[in-house]
A = this chain, B = another copy of it.
Amino acid sequence: MYELSAKPIVLKLGGSVITRKERPLTPNLGAIRRLASEISSAEAAPLVVVHGGGSFGHPLAKRYAIKEGYKGKGSQAFGFAETHQAMVTLNKLVVDALIHKNAPAVAVSPSSCIVTKSGRIHTMLEEPLKKLLQTGFVPVLYGDAVLDSDLGFTILSGDQLTAYLAMSLNAERIVVGIDVDGLYTADPKTDSSARLISHVTLKELKNMQQQIEEAKVTDVTGGMLGKIEELIPPIEKGIAALIVNAAKPKNVYKALKGERVFGTLISKF
């Protein structure tokens, strides 16, 4: 029923790239406009964009403990309303920028079409999203405050949503644009010998995880292993994930174009 001309790319834009992390409810408009221009000029189709919350989502979600579920207090319900509305606000800036750069972007509100169960996506009406892709639109989703059948409500992370969509849409690949270059052999902030890992297989990645767990040390790779946990199921299905630094110009453009780019490719083999 929903035949796509090609397998879609799912692009995740980290909240720390498109917002000013240190200032609540402050967008990084320069980064949003530059990324909108890169996405539009790359003309990758079909394409789904998912963005994180950064300083729009995290402070509010944390203050009201939205992720932990509804405890029956009015103030917390109000926090849910505010958190969702903050994400709508950030999403509007991203979609406005894409439309301004001539990309036919359409906002898709996760909390309107997804219900989670104990924090994991349980029900999603995928028909609107699939029809948007089929018609040539660029759907733009985001990490959101969503209803949950066990918890009342919770937070659906952009990472979980990215992985879910990659699998349900049988994506060609995932591009993850964050504010670091990718996976390092050591923490580049403290170790000058740290080198970027340009390619890692799932088996190598799991070995790295195990070493870290056994040694009970902090994640020496720059905190990246925890962040990519959600990507493992799609990678196991053969959908490779490319991590690039979206805070640096041209990386997202090159990644969408399939050009060589500085970053870390994680693939099954």
Contact = CB atoms under 8 A, between A and B. Distances in A.
Interface of A: 70, 74, 77-78, 80-82, 84-85, 88-89, 92, 95-96, 99, 102, 104-115, 123, 125, 127-128, 131-132, 135-137, 146-147, 149, 152-153
A89 B84 CA distance: 15
A264 B144 CA distance: 40
Main secondary structure of the interface of A (DSSP, over half): helix
A135 B70 contact: yes
8 contacts: A80-B104, A84-B107, A92-B92, A106-B111, A111-B128, A123-B127, A128-B147, A135-B153
- The count of identical subunits is 2
Contacts of A96: 85
A74 B88 CA distance: 26
Nearest to A129: B112
Contacts of A111: 106, 108, 128
Given A112-B109, A115-B131, A128-B113, A104 B77 contact: yes
